[in-house]
Every structure is written in structure tokens, then in C-alpha cells.
Amino acid sequence: MTDPRIHERRVLVARQIGRRRRRRLLGLLAVVALVAGGFAVVHSSLLGARHVHVSGARHTARGAIIQAAGLSGAPPLVDVDAAAVARRVERLPWVATARVSIAWPSSVAISITERVPVAALPLPTAGFAICDPTGRVLEDVVTRPPSLPLVMGVARVGPPGSHLPASAAELTAVAGSLPESMVPRTMAIRPSSAGVEVDFSSGLVALIGGTGSLSQKFVALATVLAHGGLSGVGTVDVRVPTAPVLIRKASSPIVPGIGGG
């Protein structure tokens, strides 16, 4: 027969072990509850992207930026990947770069740098497509903005957000380098057998050639135009900017231009 004192001691030890187990279990449950509560809080609207600040956007609506960013539903900030948001926003036609920063507890700031339009291209049916120097199509408009030269000869123009064919690269580069003072007098920029040419409303044609030394070519062209004395001249060839050549309309004789030999 077991000694009562030993039995009592065993019962006491069992109770102590039970109490320790209960305390451990309660502690574990408390940690789980705390973690679950914290998870619920950080994934709730309380710490969501409730305030989205957009700066630098002139041609893209704030709503379109927020929607592209994936922030229209005020998602939890813990789930917002700033780099991924920037990449999504940069897919918008006018957006060149987007910088995204997160500020707890509930703010996201999106800073936009927009693309620069340099040319308008006629669309097959009606209206014009606006593009930047890289050939990115920015938007379609009904009328051509007077500040942009017209680019002709591009076989295919896609929707906003797409890029023009590689064959249009020289045309858009020339459009981007065209001095602002020449735009009102420009009829069109188009491809020719000798490269790119600029047609003026006066009937004068400027033969630009390739995209090398574009700034020097336009300086030479501006010098020739400012010099005057272009009666009877049909073409100004500035493919060699240090020696521009004037070509008469009705006959083939070549007249040296400003800087020519």
C-alpha cells in the first residue's frame, strides 16, 4: 500500500505540471492572438493607402494614375510594392518615369515625370497622333497642336502607349531637334531618297539627311534663312552643316550657301 504522503506528493507534482502546461498554453494562445490581431490591423483599411498624392502629371488624369497603380481600393500599405507600382504607372502613355514613396500609416506619394511631345502624325481616318522623340505615341487628338510639326510618311501608327516603327526614328529625332522658331513655317517633316527633309510653307525644302549633327544642321539652316536672298531657291541642303548648298527650283545649277566654297 502506497504511503499517503507519497501519494499526496505525487498529486501535488501532477497539479504543478498541469498548471505549468496551462500557463504555457495560455501564453501561446496570447501570442497567437497578438500576432493575428497585428496581422488584421496592418491588413485593414486603418493602415491602407487611403491618401494618394500625385504630382507632376499634366496630361494624365489622377484617377487613371491611381487605377494603374492598383491603389484605387486603398490596399494595405504592407502589401504595396513601391517598385511594382512605379512600373505599372510608367506603362501609361504620357508617363516617362514614376517615383513612389510610402508614408505610414496611410499615405502613398507618386511623382510623375511626363514625356515631351515633339510631333503630330496624321491618322488614317481623322485626327492626329502625338508622339515623343523616342516614337512613343502619347495620345490621339482631333486637331494638330500648332506647337508641333507634322511628320509624314509613317506607314503604321498604333494606339497611345505603343511605339512607332523603327523606320520612323529619324523623323521623330529631326522633329525633336527642330527649332521652335521654325515650327510655324514648317509644313511637314518627311522621308526622302536622301534622308529626312523639312518642307516649309514657302515652298522651300531643307534637306537634313540623317540624324548626325542635327543641332549644327539647324544652326546652318537658320543662318541661311536669316541671310535671305533665297528667291528662286527650291532646296537648302544642310547634310554637311559646315557647307550648306542652295539648289534652284527650275534648273540644276548648285549655288554655294552660307559657309560654302
Nearest to 57 by CA among 8, 17, 90, 30: 90
Average pLDDT over residues 96-106: 93
pLDDT band at 207 (very low <50, low <70, confident <90, very high): very high
Residue 127 has what pLDDT? 95
Say whether pLDDT at 191 is over 90.
yes
CB atoms within 10 A of CB 115: 19
Residue 227 has what pLDDT? 83
The answer regarding whether domain 47-114 maps to CATH 3.20.20.70 reads no
Say whether pLDDT at 34 is over 60.
no
Say whether pLDDT at 108 is over 70.
yes
pLDDT in tens, 85-100: 999 999 999 999 999 9
Residue 99 has what pLDDT? 96
Say whether pLDDT at 6 is over 90.
no
Residue 166 has what pLDDT? 92
Say whether pLDDT at 206 is over 60.
yes
Residue 229 has what pLDDT? 76
pLDDT band at 28 (very low <50, low <70, confident <90, very high): low
Q: Mean pLDDT of all residues in the chain?
A: 85
Residues 52, 101: Cα–Cα separation, whole Å = 10
pLDDT band at 64 (very low <50, low <70, confident <90, very high): very high
Residue 228 has what pLDDT? 74
How large a percentage of the chain has pLDDT more than 90?
Answer: 64
User: For the whole model, what pTM was predicted?
Assistant: 0.74
Q: Tell me which of 1.10.286, 3.60.21, 3.90.550, 3.40.50 is the CATH number of domain 119-256.
A: 3.40.50
Average pLDDT over residues 126-149: 96
Distance of CA 67 to the CA centre of its chain: 16
Distance of CA 24 to the CA centre of its chain: 57
CA distances 220 to 135, 148, 182, 236, Å, are 26, 21, 13, 10
CB atoms within 10 A of CB 145: 12
Residue 13 has what pLDDT? 62
Q: Beta 107-114 vs 51-55: how paired, if at all?
A: parallel
- The residue ranges of every structural domain in the chain are 1-42, 47-114, 119-256
pLDDT in tens, 140-187: 999 999 999 999 999 899 999 999 999 999 999 999 999 999 999 999
Check residues 94 and 32 and name the one with the higher pLDDT: 94
